[in-house]
């Protein structure tokens, strides 16, 4: 007999066995009251921690006032307020913002904008990048075949160039950077002529692909080529931005200004909202009315985003991410001396990855085992990388030194338990 009760789709795959009944700062509490140190931050989202009182208060006030001020129908007063605040954080002249809900929507928005602005079809992306799961953004994504499997063909006009992942190639950073810039130049004469190339779109620190930072010379190389050929440079700061890298934007580490920035995740501490930033001049070259969606720029999410920015500034959370990131990195480097299977420790600020290997082989099973052992001991973590071989560290920006030390202690126990 058919059971008529609705169920969650088996398509939903969860990394932990935990039910999150409540969230408090860096902790998730399950229905039995067990507390878990949350070093996933809901995949890099709960920047101010779970349910920060100022974010909660701003959202509650907005809920009682106006929930759905549909942005293409009426003006939602929270949006110009949020744009004004964001404009203080983005580099000049990127002070115009188009709001939507998720990271993937900003990627779709960026595809539309760069094609409309330049009148050119092609977009160069970098191998290992992740930009979302809708068909446009997925076409830009090359972090894992698992995401692309079974849904091809992809959108055309996407060209993939290598990313300077020195550890992967087994080269020095200079060698990897030289190779990648050389291949990029080859693309212009073999695949996508500059006059057919609308944009280069890149994560300053690759996230899902394996927590791999770019570097100054590579980013400058992209900027030079974009300037020379009238190509737009777009930075996907969805995961690495909003303070997580130890500077407000991850690209601040490289001293290169893009033509557009993709913003989401940490922007509103868990409320769905995202933004595409560009100069007013660039935005004016896009086609009005071509961007939008029913829920984009929701008033409650916007109020939470404004409160999130205030909290990040008042509590010095970018500086905390820098300090705590250093502590975490030092702890992991100390452990690496005793545990050679920790083949590489890399990333920036509070976005660090530990690549697990057995001999020369990426060891996804070991990383999975470590996560299970951490969960048993009250620490939640995620994996990434094409083989699931990277244990990723994504604590909230409010994390304390005691919590970092506790988490790395648990990680060491998990290393021993899975040896």
Site residues (vs ligand PLP, CB under 6 A): 43, 102-104, 107, 130-132, 203, 207-208, 236, 238-239, 264
The distance of closest approach from Cβ of residue 394 to ligand PLP in the complex, given in angstroms and rounded to an integer, is: 10
DSSP string, 171-233: S-HHHHHHHHHHHHHHHHHHT--GGGEEEEEE-SEESTTT-EE--HHHHHHHHHHHHHHT-EE
The distance of closest approach from Cβ of residue 333 to ligand PLP in the complex, given in angstroms and rounded to an integer, is: 25
Backbone angles phi, psi at 143, to 5 degrees: -85, -25
The distance of closest approach from Cβ of residue 142 to ligand PLP in the complex, given in angstroms and rounded to an integer, is: 12
49 vs 132 by CB, closer to ligand PLP: 132
The distance of closest approach from Cβ of residue 213 to ligand PLP in the complex, given in angstroms and rounded to an integer, is: 13
270 vs 366 by CB, closer to ligand PLP: 270
272 vs 286 by CB, closer to ligand PLP: 272
Q: How far apart are CA 68 and CA 183, in angstroms?
A: 47
Residue nearest ligand PLP, Cβ-based: 103
Instruction: Tell me which H or E stretch contains 351.
Output: strand 351-358
349 vs 415 by CB, closer to ligand PLP: 349
Q: How far apart are CA 256 and CA 279, in angstroms?
A: 15
The distance of closest approach from Cβ of residue 105 to ligand PLP in the complex, given in angstroms and rounded to an integer, is: 7
Q: Are strands 351-358 and 274-278 parallel, antiparallel or unpaired?
A: unpaired
The distance of closest approach from Cβ of residue 239 to ligand PLP in the complex, given in angstroms and rounded to an integer, is: 4
Q: How far apart are CA 308 and CA 206, in angstroms?
A: 24
209 vs 286 by CB, closer to ligand PLP: 209
The distance of closest approach from Cβ of residue 100 to ligand PLP in the complex, given in angstroms and rounded to an integer, is: 10
134 vs 400 by CB, closer to ligand PLP: 134
Burial 282-318 (b: 16+ CB within 10 A, else e): bbeebeeeebbbeebbbbbbbbbbbbbbebbeebebb
DSSP string, 152-186: PPPPSSEEEE----HHHHTS-HHHHHHHHHHHHHH
Cα 247 to Cα 58, 91, 250, 409: the distances in Å are 25, 13, 6, 27
């Amino acid at each position: 007999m058919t059971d008529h009760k609705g169920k969650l789709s088996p398509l939903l795959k969860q990394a932990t066995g935990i039910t999150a009944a409540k969230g408090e700062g860096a902790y998730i509490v399950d229905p039995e009251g067990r507390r878990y140190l949350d070093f996933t931050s809901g995949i890099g989202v709960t920047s101010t921690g779970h349910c920060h009182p100022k974010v909660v208060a701003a959202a509650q006030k907005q809920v009682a006032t106006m929930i759905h001020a549909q942005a293409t129908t009426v003006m939602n007063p929270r949006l110009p307020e949020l744009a004004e605040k964001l404009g203080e954080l983005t580099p000049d002249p990127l002070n115009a913002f188009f709001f939507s809900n998720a990271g993937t929507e900003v990627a779709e928005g960026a595809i539309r904008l760069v094609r409309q602005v330049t009148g050119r079809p092609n977009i160069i992306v970098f191998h290992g990048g992740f930009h979302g799961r809708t068909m446009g953004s997925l076409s830009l994504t090359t972090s894992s075949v698992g995401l692309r499997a079974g849904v091809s063909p992809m959108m055309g006009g996407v060209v993939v160039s290598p990313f300077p992942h020195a550890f992967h190639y087994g080269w020095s950073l200079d060698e990897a950077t030289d190779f990648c810039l050389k291949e990029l130049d080859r693309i212009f004469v073999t695949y996508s002529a500059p006059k057919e190339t609308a944009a280069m779109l890149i994560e300053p620190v690759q996230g899902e692909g394996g927590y791999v930072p770019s570097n100054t010379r590579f980013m400058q190389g992209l900027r030079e080529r974009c300037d020379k050929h009238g190509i737009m440079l777009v930075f996907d700061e969805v995961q690495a931005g909003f303070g997580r890298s130890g500077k407000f934007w991850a690209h601040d580490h490289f001293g290169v200004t893009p033509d557009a920035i993709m913003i989401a995740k940490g922007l509103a501490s868990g409320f769905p909202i995202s933004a595409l930033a560009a100069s007013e001049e660039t935005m004016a070259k896009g086609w009005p009315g071509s961007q939008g969606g029913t829920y984009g720029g929701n008033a409650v999410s916007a109020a939470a985003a404004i409160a999130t920015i205030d909290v990040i500034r008042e509590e010095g959370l970018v500086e905390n991410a820098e300090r705590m990131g250093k502590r975490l990195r030092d702890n992991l480097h100390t452990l690496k001396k005793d545990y050679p299977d920790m083949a590489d420790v890399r990333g920036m600020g509070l976005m660090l990855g530990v690549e697990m290997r057995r001999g020369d082989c990426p060891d996804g099973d070991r990383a999975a085992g470590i996560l299970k052992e951490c969960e048993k001991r009250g620490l939640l973590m995620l994996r990434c990388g094409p083989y699931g071989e990277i244990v990723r560290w994504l604590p909230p920006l409010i994390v304390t030194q005691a919590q970092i030390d506790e988490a790395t202690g648990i990680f060491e126990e998990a290393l021993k338990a899975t040896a």
